[in-house]
Chains A and B, each alone.
Chain A
Amino acid sequence: MKELINSPLVHVCLTLIVFILSKKLQKRYKSPLLNPILITVSVVILFLLFTDTSYADYERNTQVISFWLAPSVVALGYALYSFLEEIKADFRKIVLSMLAGSLTGIISVFMTAYLFGASKVTMISLAPKSVTMPIAIEVSKEMGGIPSLTVAFVIIVGVLGAIFGQTYLSLIGVNDPKSVGLSLGATSHALGAASISERGPDFSAFGGLGMALNGVVTAIFAPWVIKFLLLLLY
């Protein structure tokens, strides 16, 4: 029985079933707090603690799932390509806002964490927090952060943006689909984009664009910015 519980079959089954159920739960109650990732991660952790299984075992057993993370980053190229005409039409403005947003995100989270006494590895893990998860994981891994810590930060930023983003943006007078979509997508990735879908397809399309572009810009610039800031501070 012990061998069965600690097997790829059981761990993969558990992960898939809990993930499917939590997706259904979110669809039914539409609360951004019922994030499927948040729920699945919590349930799996409880299961591992309860069955006295180490994370190393779970990680090895679920490689069949995590293997597809990198190909899904490659697939983002397909999403980006489908937005190419829209990007070309408004090229300079969009590029400027995404560059500024990405740099602001990396530098502000890094410096604020530093000022309030976070450790170096926490700061690096925080740096890609606004980016879509697979890219954030890759940046974190590349720079010596802790990928699973980055995952938690990405989820927190996503949930925050989904709950408070629209209210804040209308407070500073940002209401058109392009501006709202790009800023929420750039701040809170897929969760931000999904949170504005009921305002119209153009809102969520620009949300997706903001997520994809901020992801690419951050993937390209974050490693250099982080290296520079580390040299400056340590």
Chain B
Amino acid sequence: MILIKQVAIFLGLWLLGELISFYTHLPLSGSIIGMLLLVVALEFKLIKTRDVKEVADFLLNNMALFFIPAGVGLMCHYHVLSQEWLPISIAIVVSALLVMTVVGLIMKKRS
């Protein structure tokens, strides 16, 4: 029963996020709005940690599994990858190095 209640809280926040996304036309998906709602609700004690803990841990620990179906969709994009592998690889390496440099140096400089 506890788990069902916790699942209902997560699905409820997701649904609320979807409704907000639909009516406000924000370019944010319902689940991301739901995430922000959860932070606010926990901070203002509208939802207690113990009301979400078990299911939150379950979802966070198994996150990798949930995007496998999306990853398998890669099989439909073989042509994009084989045609554009060069710009893709360069862009990923350049960008990863830049992000590490920017975050690392800002944190280091001011600490």
A residues lining the B interface (CB < 8 Å): 15-16, 19, 36-37, 40-41, 44-45, 48-49, 55, 58-59, 62-63, 65-66, 68-81, 84, 93-94, 96-98, 100-101, 104-105, 108-110, 112-113, 115-119, 121-122, 126, 129-130, 132-135, 137-139, 141-143, 146-149, 151-153, 155-157, 160-161, 165, 168-169, 172-174, 176, 178-180, 182-184, 186-188, 190, 210, 216, 219-220, 223-224, 227
Contacts and interface: CB of A to CB of B under 8 A. Distances in A.
B73 A148 contact: yes
A77 B14 CA distance: 12
A190 B41 CA distance: 25
Given A74-B14, A75-B55, A138-B29, A66 B69 contact: yes
A133 to B, nearest CB: 5
A125 to B, nearest CB: 9
Interface of B: 7, 10-11, 13-14, 17, 27-32, 34-39, 42-43, 49, 52-53, 55-56, 59-60, 62-77, 80-81, 84, 86-88, 90-108, 110-111
10 contacts: A71-B11, A75-B52, A78-B53, A116-B86, A122-B84, A134-B67, A142-B29, A156-B92, A160-B96, A180-B104
B69 A15 contact: yes
Contacts of B76: 55, 148
A176 B72 contact: no
Contacts, number: 304
Contact of A68 (B59, B95, B102): B59
Contact of B108 (A58, A84, A146, A176): A176
B88 A76 contact: no
A58 B69 contact: yes
A119 B72 CA distance: 22
A19 B70 contact: no
Given A146-B77, A174-B105, A176-B108, A77 B36 contact: yes
Nearest to A49: B75
Tell which of B30, B35, B53, B96 has the most Cβ of chain A within 10 Å: B35
B107 A77 contact: no
